[in-house]
Structure 1
Amino acid sequence: MMKNYINLLLGCFLCLFFLTNCEVEDDENPVFESTAVPRIFGWSTANTYTTDISDSLIIDLQVSPAQDATFKWFVDGVEVGTGLRFKYLFPEAKDYTIKFEATRNGVTNSREADVIVIKPFVPKTYNKKMVGFLTQNGSINDVNFANLTHLVISSAVVGEVAGQASLVDTTLENLNIPLIIKAAHNAGVYVLLDVTGNMVTLNGGGMYADYGFFNVVKDPAKQATAIATIMKFASNNGFDGINVYLNNTSEGVLEPVSKIEQFFKAIPAALPPGPNGKFFYTASVPGGWTTGVLSAIAKVPEIDWVNIQPYRYEDLAPTAHSPYWGATDLVNTWVNFGLPKEKIVLGFPAFGLHYNMPKDGTQVGWGNLWKYATYESFRDILLKDPMAHTKNMLAVDDGIYYDGHPIIQQKAQLVIDQGLGGLMMWSVESDTPDQSKSLLKAANTALGN
């Protein structure tokens, strides 16, 4: 009886063993319909590859089902190979488009990507600096490097956050920094890291009543920690410099200039050598009643230039927020602070201020102006009027005031006549990609670059 029981168990075990092996064999050798789409594995999820001009780009793919399938590789529409492996030495340092096709029984699947072929960095020559800021709301697709001499990626945010010992948020998670820097260097454009407090991305203004950056600045221990973190991140990621934008400088009262001066003078000793023989140290400063607090920046000789912002000049009555007089006034202010003219880079906005004042008798004051004066990107302004680039104001509601080509050309001429360092635009992604209407293109051209 016991022997029969053991034989029964052994039979069950063997049956289970063979059934299991049959299932595994089926998994390893699946049967596909003749019309099954050949799936492609191993392709870059970013749809972008980079390679040095001296190296071949190698891509190894897998396709399932692969039996009876044929494969083709294309570079800029020209067939260059078959098989699952792509190995190609690009002849020039420029951008290419590659495509892979897998076809089985008349069914085709494909993938396409951009390839950036990298060459040794050679900075472009220019007449005047054309600086553009790119925020996390944008991407590399918003950048036309032909219109830039320097790109600033915004931003590493400084402030006191619970559980954040470094005091600096350097995630910049929406931007592919390595890719942007490689593409910029290919075009001869330097890339700087913007260091700021919390701000309103569209207009670049400091977040209301947010003094996190300033609270770090005025504490020597926290200041040292923040500077070390910033320099490490900039150096590790191949940035060509940093731009410091202390966008809120007081908590209701003007702080001593010495606190700001000590911070800006502490930075040069921590600057790395830079990946291309130069590590830039620049600053951005707003106009307005707190300008004087930042005047010490003019006394820091290591600062390469200062981006001044004569815009966001809101008023209780509809008016231009970026007037020409504001530009000349802020230039003169910084010259009087002692900043050499060639270190002044004049900023202009790629956004406008849209006034829509109340019609029900509501009194408008500084406490409720935000309800009736809102900012819009230049891209959105063009949607309201395709010819907006030829103007500086649209007669929509109580007026949309912005910088179009006419005033940008005036400001460029001011830069040339006064011997200033150049122009700066906030921000690149708010401009239009249409080069006939682009603010950045108009500015760069007017500078003689």
Structure 2
Amino acid sequence: MKKIMYRSIPVFLVIFIMFSGCKKDEVKQQEADNPYTPRIFDNLRIFAAPRIINEGETANFTGLAFSPASKVKISWKVNDKEMSTDTAYKFKPAAGGEYNIKLDVTYQGTTTSRSTKVLVSPSTYQFKLYTNVVLAELTEDGTAADLVWNNITHLDYQVGKVAADGSFDASKGNVNQRADEIVARAHINGVPVILGISGRLSGIDGWAVYESNDFGTAIRDNAKMQALVQSVKTYVANRKMDGVDINMTDINSANAPANIHAIGPFLTALKAALPQNAIVTVTASVNYQHWEYPDLSAATWVNIHAFEDNGHNFPDSPVGQSSSYDFMVSGTQIWTKFHLPASKLVVGMPAFGLRYNTLNAAGHNASYGSYDYMTYKAIVAADPAAAGKEKADIASGVYYNGIPLVTQKAAYIKANGFKGAYLWAADYDATGSNSLMAAIYNTLK
């Protein structure tokens, strides 16, 4: 009988035989059932935020890695049009505007995408035509998102803070390129941007702080004043702004007369330093201190702070409207009678209200600490019907300018030949049909 010999088969040989028996279409089916998603590695975070550049500059999209590294199909698109299939892309726009940049990476029919925007500030721009100035004042905390460009003709960005030593700080405009975005979007929409410079402001109402002399001290000293002029000139040029507003509010101190008198030489020096076509304005009060203002006829125009009568916020003062129609009219008449023609004046209106938190037994304001201010958009948020009124039952009552009142004021401004109106502040305004800025624009246009 023949002896049968048994031999063991190595494991690797068994595996080889098993895979050798698999059909090629089974492998393809497994890949189809488990597709590989391509990946984009953005270690430099070039897609993390929108870019803001000037026309003629280049936005570089480099430093990316992909997986599977050399097998993906790459497509760079600008406003949905393919511009490159390289691993990196350099975008150099031919004109100002906002552009959508999209990167598609595809492998075996599966696509991964990244996208961002590039805002390009135009090198040349033409300002829109207007009959009356409709000026939006934007505080240092405001952004481009607070503005509706169709509702304004000019923008005053109050971002420059003047210290007593004559130094100038506009650092809040550097946050997330805030100032660059504001200027770019304004110029794309044909709106000139004015740099607003001030000392310390009192808060929501944006006016005088008791015994504050920062700005006044700086411009009363010739050396400090000249240094300030040069700093402002440099900033305006670097940021491509179109002018400056001198918002010197140091009028609530013993040095108020000297502070106000110093505006004249400062205005002269600033106009000499800036381009000939620069807009240079002054913001001034309409109270008894109007007598202290020097000749401001060299200014492009003067903004008059014709709101807040300060007659309703003393202890035991009657509650009521501090920014009435009559107060605005009397303020404009002071300036037209004693200072400048109406055609040189832009009249202010408030986008905030005086809120009473505590009243005394007589129903009057209780004390200096019993009131504060509330932005118009906060008032509308608390009372949806507030836009059509000028008093809302919030706390112990808040008095403000609603759409009927600002429309009445704007009609007076237009009928009496004033240069225009401004709103303090655009970032306090509500949106849509509740917007004060829209109501002013539609009346003055």
TM-score, with length taken from structure 1: 0.79
CA 1:55–1:251 in 2, change beyond 3 Å: closer, same or farther?
closer
Which residue of structure 1 lines up, in the alignment, with residue 280 of structure 2? 281
CA 1:140–1:84 in 2, change beyond 3 Å: closer, same or farther?
farther
Which residue of structure 2 lines up, in the alignment, with residue 128 of structure 1? 132
Which residue of structure 2 lines up, in the alignment, with residue 180 of structure 1? 182
> How far, CA to CA, are the matches of 1:102 and 1:318 in structure 2?
65
Identify the match of residue 306 of structure 1 among 296, 299, 302. Answer: 302
> How far, CA to CA, are the matches of 2:290 and 2:280 in structure 1?
20
Which residue of structure 1 lines up, in the alignment, with residue 216 of structure 2? 214
CA 1:446–1:269 in 2, change beyond 3 Å: closer, same or farther?
closer
SS at match of 1:290: helix
Matched to 1:384, the amino acid is: A
Worse-matched range after superposition: 88-97 or 283-292: 88-97
Task: Describe the superposition over 1:317-361 as per-residue Cα deviations: whole angstroms up to 9, x where unpaired.
Answer: 221121111110110111122211111101111211111224689
Which residue of structure 2 lines up, in the alignment, with residue 22 of structure 1? none
Matched to 1:247, the amino acid is: T
Which residue of structure 1 lines up, in the alignment, with residue 157 of structure 2? 153
Which residue of structure 1 lines up, in the alignment, with residue 168 of structure 2? 168
> How far, CA to CA, are the matches of 1:408 and 1:363 in structure 2?
26
Matched to 2:401, the amino acid is: D
Identify the match of residue 112 of structure 1 among 97, 116, 132. Answer: 116
Cα deviation for residue 272 of structure 1 reads: 1.9
Worse-matched range after superposition: 226-235 or 72-81: 72-81
Which residue of structure 1 lines up, in the alignment, with residue 100 of structure 2? 97
Task: Describe the superposition over 1:383-406 as per-residue Cα deviations: whole angstroms up to 9, x where unpaired.
Answer: 112232222221223321112111
Cα deviation for residue 178 of structure 1 reads: 2.6
1:135/1:201 contact within 8 Å kept: no
CA RMSD of aligned residues (A): 3.2
Matched to 1:200, the amino acid is: S
Cα deviation for residue 116 of structure 1 reads: 3.8
Cα deviation for residue 35 of structure 1 reads: 6.8
CA 1:338–1:192 in 2, change beyond 3 Å: closer, same or farther?
same
> How far, CA to CA, are the matches of 2:156 and 2:266 in structure 1?
19
> How far, CA to CA, are the matches of 1:70 and 1:376 in structure 2?
55
Matched to 1:170, the amino acid is: A
Cα deviation for residue 227 of structure 1 reads: 2.2
SS at match of 2:409: helix
> How far, CA to CA, are the matches of 2:282 and 2:121 in structure 1?
32
TM-score, with length taken from structure 2: 0.79
Which residue of structure 1 lines up, in the alignment, with residue 19 of structure 2? none
1:228/1:270 contact within 8 Å kept: no
SS at match of 2:412: helix
Which residue of structure 2 lines up, in the alignment, with residue 9 of structure 1? none
> How far, CA to CA, are the matches of 1:291 and 1:50 in structure 2?
43
CA 1:101–1:207 in 2, change beyond 3 Å: closer, same or farther?
farther
1:74/1:100 contact within 8 Å kept: yes
Matched to 1:169, the amino acid is: D
Which residue of structure 1 lines up, in the alignment, with residue 397 of structure 2? 399
Which residue of structure 1 lines up, in the alignment, with residue 65 of structure 2? 63
Question: Are 1:246 and 2:248 matched, yes or no?
Answer: yes
> How far, CA to CA, are the matches of 2:248 and 2:87 in structure 1?
52
CA 1:364–1:390 in 2, change beyond 3 Å: closer, same or farther?
closer
Worse-matched range after superposition: 63-72 or 182-191: 63-72
Which residue of structure 1 lines up, in the alignment, with residue 41 of structure 2? 39
Which residue of structure 2 lines up, in the alignment, with residue 411 of structure 1? 409
Which residue of structure 2 lines up, in the alignment, with residue 444 of structure 1? 441
Which residue of structure 1 lines up, in the alignment, with residue 144 of structure 2? 140
SS at match of 1:181: helix
Task: Describe the superposition over 1:254-284 as per-residue Cα deviations: whole angstroms up to 9, x where unpaired.
Answer: 525883354345325533216xxx1111011
SS at match of 1:397: coil
> How far, CA to CA, are the matches of 1:382 and 1:104 in structure 2?
52
**Structure 1 gap segments, 5+ residues each:** 1-33
Which residue of structure 1 lines up, in the alignment, with residue 351 of structure 2? 350
Identify the match of residue 197 of structure 2 among 195, 198, 212. Answer: 195
Cα deviation for residue 309 of structure 1 reads: 1.2
2:219/2:262 contact within 8 Å kept: yes
Matched to 1:420, the amino acid is: F
Task: Describe the superposition over 1:181-201 as per-residue Cα deviations: whole angstroms up to 9, x where unpaired.
Answer: 122111111111111111134
CA 1:43–1:431 in 2, change beyond 3 Å: closer, same or farther?
same
Question: Are 1:388 and 2:386 matched, yes or no?
Answer: yes
**Structure 2 gap segments, 5+ residues each:** 1-35
Matched to 2:171, the amino acid is: T
Cα deviation for residue 55 of structure 1 reads: 8.5
CA 1:286–1:223 in 2, change beyond 3 Å: closer, same or farther?
same
SS at match of 2:227: helix
- Larger radius of gyration, structure 1 or 2? 2
Matched to 2:433, the amino acid is: S
> How far, CA to CA, are the matches of 1:167 and 1:91 in structure 2?
38
2:208/2:252 contact within 8 Å kept: no
2:103/2:114 contact within 8 Å kept: yes
Task: Describe the superposition over 1:402-425 as per-residue Cα deviations: whole angstroms up to 9, x where unpaired.
Answer: 121111111111111110000101
CA 1:75–1:320 in 2, change beyond 3 Å: closer, same or farther?
farther
How many correspondences in the alignment?
Answer: 401
Which residue of structure 2 lines up, in the alignment, with residue 374 of structure 1? 372
Matched to 1:426, the amino acid is: W
Worse-matched range after superposition: 321-330 or 87-96: 87-96
> How far, CA to CA, are the matches of 1:390 and 1:282 in structure 2?
32
Which residue of structure 2 lines up, in the alignment, with residue 332 of structure 1? 333
SS at match of 1:348: strand
